[in-house]
Structure 1
């Protein structure tokens, strides 16, 4: 029995020394790695050559005909362009770009240095229904179906949800509300990367 205890003790000491005994030691040899370190794993490095491709370049050009997420393919100015529109003016950019890409009121909610007032889209029944649909999908989980701050997330610990029926919110300008949706505020996350510009105004 004593011999068995001694063997177990020696094995434990060897394991402890193997794990902790050589920490901090300097060596010119590379460390033994069970899994390769991410620094040395095969990958494409920015602006670095790569033998994998025939042209020897690591970074690749975008595939012909592709566009970034949230953008539409540019159309000829004569195709589906309303009368009087050329497609060059900043206020016409939203006909081709779905996510914020400009500095005008439509994309920022600001008129100069002040929050603007007014919806920069025709307020139609379709726009209102679209806004209600987007609200029910994206906002109601926190603010509640009636926008009084009693969404289902309150049941899971999110206690600070503002009621959109408060006078403070009702008195906010349209541009400031748009900016809050876009960039978030306090515990509210930004929805600019997830909701297209026109839907934020809806």
Structure 2
């Protein structure tokens, strides 16, 4: 066969595969009624126990799984300032810019109940949301969630550090200010 004939034959084969009915396939909107299935739905429900392919199935520890280092705290501060401070404020008081514009205030991190809450509580709230707060699972990876938890603990500790844990010179300075 000549090259011209081969080209013409290839074009005829390609044209035969192009049918418009393939492009005009019937489709259904989500949750639309249909005769496709016995229950009248246009789609099947997922099988019980189905897991999304991007679900994190690793067990979540109850306490901070990483050593708390300056690098972790800086990462936590950065992520906190991006994702949390619009509502919780930079100091964790629940007075962020969104709240100042009328959104309901979240609780302060400095209340007794949240100071006593487990690390896992904060991790779970970041992951699943709570009240008016939506889930950040798709926005904040697990390692960054733990970094945020470490930073929240730092904010809490900054207000409620035990005086006995301070160096001697700072305790003396506090004692001197208390006498004035």
TM-score norm. by structure 1 comes to: 0.45
Select 2:74's aligned residue among 111, 129, 133.
129
1:101 aligns with 2:56: yes
Question: 1:174 is matched with which residue?
Answer: 119
Contact 2:95 2:105 in 1 (8 A): no
Count, aligned residues: 101
1:161 aligns with 2:106: yes
Deviations 1:101-123 (A, max 9, x none): 11412xxx4xxxxxx2x211232
Deviations 1:9-65 (A, max 9, x none): xxxxxxxxxxxxxxxxxxxxxxxxxxxxxxxx957859xxxxxxxxxxxxxxxxxxx
Equivalent-residue separation in structure 1 for 2:84 and 2:115 (angstroms): 16
Equivalent-residue separation in structure 1 for 2:68 and 2:27 (angstroms): 49
Contact 2:88 2:95 in 1 (8 A): yes
1:194 aligns with 2:149: no
Q: Secondary structure at the match of 1:140?
A: helix
Equivalent-residue separation in structure 2 for 1:142 and 1:44 (angstroms): 46
Q: CA deviation at 1:124?
A: 1.6
Equivalent-residue separation in structure 2 for 1:139 and 1:42 (angstroms): 47
Contact 2:87 2:99 in 1 (8 A): yes
Equivalent-residue separation in structure 2 for 1:127 and 1:198 (angstroms): 9
Q: Secondary structure at the match of 1:190?
A: coil
Select 1:183's aligned residue among 125, 128, 147.
128
- 4+ aligned runs moved over 6 Å, structure 1: none
Question: 1:38 is matched with which residue?
Answer: none
Deviates more, 1:155-164 or 1:127-136: 155-164
Residues 42-53 of structure 1: pairs in structure 2 closer than 5 A: none
User: More helix per residue: 1 or 2?
Assistant: 2
Question: 1:52 is matched with which residue?
Answer: none
